[in-house]
Amino acid sequence: MTAETTLHGDVAVITLNNPPVNGLGHATRVGITDGLALAAADPNVKAIVITGAGKAFSGGADIREFGTAKALAEPNLLSVILAVEQSPKPVVAAIHSVVMGGGLELALGCHYRVVAPGCNVALPEVKLGLIPGAGGTQRLPRVVGVETGLNMIVSGEPVKSELLASLPGQKLFDEVVGSPETLLQDALAFARKIADVRPLPLVRNLKAAHPQGDAYFQFARNMVKGMAKNLPAPLKCVDAVEAATKKKFDEGMAFEREIFTNLMFTPESRALRHLFMAERAASKIPDVPDDTPKREIKSVGIIGAGTMGGGIAMNFLNAGLPVKMLEMKQEALDRGVATIRKNYEAQVKKGKLKQDKYDQRMALLSTTLSYDDLKDVDIVIEAVFEELGVKEKVFKELDRVCKPGAILASNTSTLDVNLIANFTKRPQDVVGTHFFSPANVMKLLEVVRGAATAKDVLATIMALAKKIKKTAVVSGVCDGFIGNRMIEQYSRQAGFLLEEGCTPAQVDKAVEKFGFAMGPFRMGDLAGNDIGWAIRKRRYVEKPDLKYSKTADLLCEMGRYGQKTGAGWYDYQAGKRDAIPSKAVTDMIEQHRKDRGITPRQVSDDEIVQRLVYSLVNEAAHILQEGIASKAGDIDMVYITGYGFPFWRGGPMLYADEVGLFNVVQAMKRFALNPLDDAAFWQPAPLLAKLAAEGKTFN
């Protein structure tokens, strides 16, 4: 039982007790209805209090029941709330800390609500592509007003109880008590005070109205439409709240239910629910249990104060950890520190960072030219040039000076972490921490697990990632790890598309319409086309048979490295980032087609998107099969948080599942017949072929 009923004289107290946040799982719901029945049958009980044990009143649905039959089993949440409403004895919700989603809907079904200060109040269902489905859209506007109610429902963001309690005319809270500690005593006193008042007040009997009615909802729709381009749920929130102002209560409830059920089956909601679960699952490593001991991290050393080193340092400074940066020359240190300062000052100017916070952060930063100054740090992250010889020197020095147990991490994006680990006599302490640029902004952190990396090192890094607010995903050692290994195939396809008849702008537009933040050519211009060039030069030696379009090399030979040289796949005007289609590039591509004897053809946007996205999917299937990634959801997290894949499609793996793996394989077989493409690559990865044949999915 995850809700217990106890008697406090003439008041029955039902305490939700389902850690961590008293999710309203089936056993908890049964506990509530049992408690209500007990209280109704006991002639000595005059009133009922519902409260939550521990850290919350209730955080809403129990996510462990998502997608299972238990989530809908009776008594479902609607039935529980109905039972509360219809209780012949008054029910008082005693709320503290967190009241969200179904938890708030339950409280709104109670006859009264008392709250302890500092409580976070929210209906966050929209973040899962849904609307509240147990009366939230009908009851909240009745107690906090239509505008506040709609803002909360459409944003899903928590609002502090103090703010809501201060709204003129609010009926959400009947009493604000002194503190969370006195909540139960105060709620009992309140319950005794109102025990004999009849009729029992019901939120359903209140009116939700807006003085500007239709005009307000029109305005709200325009606002929401602009903000939530690809998501259906936010507009449906407006519809549901409007219904609260226009329909009878029970009709409004039925309307809400219908919208909720329909949204449940949209690909967008499936995608958001998938990512919600995938994000939580990403921090779990199959053979590293949650209770694995962690090493204490109280100080950080960073080698290299360049683009990545500076950004990485900011993450730790933001989290209140002291950072010592090491370089070979004072000028490099000065430059690195100046860049960090400039970034923070920009935030101060925009009002995003307070001056005292900025001062505190800078005070945590120190610099050195000597490895001996790193002898006490708990972790060192290396971000020097991407050359194995340079990494070797650095790791040998670290091995010499660092204290036993210090974690030695490399930010390498392409080198073999096992080789790096073996430059030291403590490979168990070595791990890859692959940050993405700009490292102070991008959410993704690929944690590269070497053959020898100790479990407590991994557990420590996962916890540290959380502290610096990164989404950490574990990758095994391979060239490019998860993300860049996949993007290489995507870039190869982009090259073939140019040869066959596309322009860079056509390819970019097609994938941007699909929802990518940026197409492959704009992305190349931003990151620097010379990076891919360097990798290809290596590939020409390692894998001489691998097919590439030469267009990207020809572009680099023209010196068009991208925005940094003022020209890449596009032309750029000084100081601006607008990508202008380039005659020189079109001429280069056309000449290249002539040289190869290729007659260009019209390629449809559908084909462009399919070839680019399925190239990610096929490579990802190899990655999964090889155990480089432990689950499909991890790959989706990498692409959503690091590569601008449209989040409302849930990542490449969920997208493939949605299309149907059978259909994905059929398309690959078609692409393999194209003589200008790479037939060998389009052989479906064995895992993909198997899942497709069995009618299964990645997730």
Ligand X SMILES: NC(=O)c1ccc[n+]([C@@H]2O[C@H](COP(=O)([O-])OP(=O)(O)OC[C@H]3O[C@@H](n4cnc5c(N)ncnc54)[C@H](O)[C@@H]3O)[C@@H](O)[C@H]2O)c1
Residues that bind ligand X (CB under 6 A): 303-309, 326-328, 332, 383-386, 390, 393-394, 411-413, 434-437
> Which three-class secondary structure state does DSSP give residue 108?
helix
Number of residue whose CB is nearest ligand X: 306
The 10 Å Cβ neighbour count of residue 266 is: 17
Token pair of 301 as six digits: 């050393």
Q: Which of 80, 73, 211 is nearest to 134 (CA)?
A: 80
Is residue 279 within 8 Å of residue 471, measured between CB atoms? Answer: yes
* Residue (116 or 409) nearer to ligand X, CB: 409
256 catalytic per annotation = no
Q: Using CA atoms, how far apart are residues 199 and 331, in angstroms rounded to an integer?
A: 78
Catalytic residue among 125, 488, 499, 619: 125
* Residue (327 or 636) nearer to ligand X, CB: 327
**CB of residue 340 to ligand X, shortest distance in Å:** 13
* Residue (160 or 577) nearer to ligand X, CB: 577
* Residue (63 or 535) nearer to ligand X, CB: 535
Is residue 313 within 8 Å of residue 323, measured between CB atoms? Answer: yes
Strands 580-581 vs 570-571: parallel, antiparallel or unpaired: antiparallel
105 catalytic per annotation = yes
* Residue (269 or 410) nearer to ligand X, CB: 410
**CB of residue 366 to ligand X, shortest distance in Å:** 15
Token pair of 466 as six digits: 């959380």
* Residue (66 or 385) nearer to ligand X, CB: 385
Q: Using CA atoms, how far apart are residues 237 and 243, in angstroms rounded to an integer?
A: 10
Burial bucket for residue 230 (CB in 10 Å: 0-12, 13-18, 19+): exposed
Is residue 315 within 8 Å of residue 364, measured between CB atoms? Answer: no
Burial bucket for residue 175 (CB in 10 Å: 0-12, 13-18, 19+): middle
**CB of residue 484 to ligand X, shortest distance in Å:** 9
**CB of residue 454 to ligand X, shortest distance in Å:** 22
Is residue 367 within 8 Å of residue 326, measured between CB atoms? Answer: yes
**CB of residue 482 to ligand X, shortest distance in Å:** 13
Q: Which of 6, 31, 8, 9 is nearest to 18 (CA)?
A: 31
Cα torsion 394, 400, 402, 405: sign: positive
**CB of residue 539 to ligand X, shortest distance in Å:** 16
**CB of residue 336 to ligand X, shortest distance in Å:** 6
Q: Helix H segments across 319-366?
A: 330-349, 355-363
Q: Using CA atoms, how far apart are residues 337 and 366, in angstroms rounded to an integer?
A: 9
- The secondary structure of the chain in percent helix, strand, coil, rounded to multiples of 5, reads 55, 10, 35
Q: What is the DSSP letter of 201?
A: P
**CB of residue 416 to ligand X, shortest distance in Å:** 12
* Residue (308 or 691) nearer to ligand X, CB: 308
* Residue (384 or 692) nearer to ligand X, CB: 384
Token pair of 162 as six digits: 């103090």
Count of positions (residues) in the chain: 699
Catalytic residue among 105, 256, 268, 619: 105
Is residue 629 within 8 Å of residue 623, measured between CB atoms? Answer: yes
State the catalytic residues. 105, 125
